[in-house]
Amino acid sequence: MYTIDDIQIFVTTHNRASLLKETLQSILAQTVPIKNITVLDNESTDNTAEIVFQLKDRGVHYVHTTGFLGNFKKAQELVSRPYCMLFHDDDLLHPAYLENALKALNAYPNIALITTTHSAFANNSVPQMPSQVAPSHIFFTSPQKWAQYIYFCEGVSYAPAIYKSKALKESSLEYEKFNKFNDWPLLAKMALHGNVVYFTDKHFMYMRQHQGQDSNSLNFPTIQQIVNWDKLFYELMGANNPHLLLHYLYAWHNKHFLFGKLNIGKKLDDKHYTLAALTAYCKKENLPTWNFNTKPFKWLFLPFLKHLERSFLSQITNTWPIK
């Protein structure tokens, strides 16, 4: 039976001393007692070390790291327990998250990844967390279904991910290949090492939105990196997946050059996905259709997401052993 001692908790940080203490306190407030947290600090120049030292008597330890992706690499080096979490220095955990993660570890076999969806909040508007969260979740045994869910349903969180340590040691963030959008590829490929539990209550994790986060940086991927990202998900989702029509729609609108193709009229799997074919597909699935030239793209995209989510959920086996 797994206990909290089987999950090694890391918090990765860089120059966010003003946010770090609140993050650490949210982990220390878990309903299962946390005895040890390791803060991995990648060359901060602020008072990060001082903040960590203030919590030393509560089992919070400081490790200085260096170099590109130094925190991730140091976690791979230091991890020694069966599972580990690499939490972010600017987000907050609901007190019941790790308790529910442990229930999942003890309810399902061969777990490679546990994560959740999230709520977002503005930097200066820290939310009041509800006292109760629902243990509702999806159990994925298929890497293909997990990749489809990530790609089409979105909302999957990177910060609270709990990894099978052996799988994490064998993985990489592949920053050069995907740029800052390397998080979903890492999460998607975890399913190749075992099963996935995904919690669907948005109150398990709170993502802080602020100007200093990487998602707001101007470090955008190159066209080749977008090709790499699309190609990976294309392969993980299954080349013959009929729902890849949405992938073409997404690629057409956002100019994601899937396999270097510059429009959705290119031939793949002996089909031509034209706008006429797209409209016909929508009608067949009883989905709203609009003129692409006059209506916002998202009006068509969002109903597709809802349709796909329902489709995926109907195909995924849920035994719901967590109470």
pLDDT in tens, 24-36: 999 999 999 999 9
User: Phi and psi (nearest 5°) for 246?
Assistant: -65, -35
Q: Given this model, what pLDDT does residue 133 score?
A: 94
Residue 261 pLDDT exceeds 80? no
Contact indicator for 205, 93 with CB cutoff of 8 Å: yes
Average pLDDT over residues 263-279: 47
Burial of 231 (0-12, 13-18, 19+ CB in 10 A): middle
Length of the chain, please?
323
Give the end-to-end CA distance of the chain in Å, rounded to a whole number: 17
Rounded Cα gap, residues 294 and 290, in angstroms: 8
- The whole-model pTM stands at 0.83
Q: DSSP character for 256?
A: -
pLDDT in tens, 48-82: 999 999 999 999 999 999 999 999 999 999 999 99
Q: Which residue has the higher pLDDT, 267 or 130?
A: 130
Rounded Cα gap, residues 98 and 182, in angstroms: 24
Contact indicator for 76, 186 with CB cutoff of 8 Å: no
Q: Given this model, what pLDDT does residue 265 score?
A: 39
Which of 89, 73, 77 lies closest to 14 in space, CA to CA?
Answer: 89
Residue 151 pLDDT exceeds 50? yes
Average pLDDT over residues 298-321: 62
pLDDT in tens, 292-309: 444 445 555 566 666 666
Choose the weakest-confidence range: 5-19, 43-57, 81-95, 230-244.
230-244
Q: Which residue has the higher pLDDT, 45 or 213?
A: 45
Residue with tokens 């966010």: 16
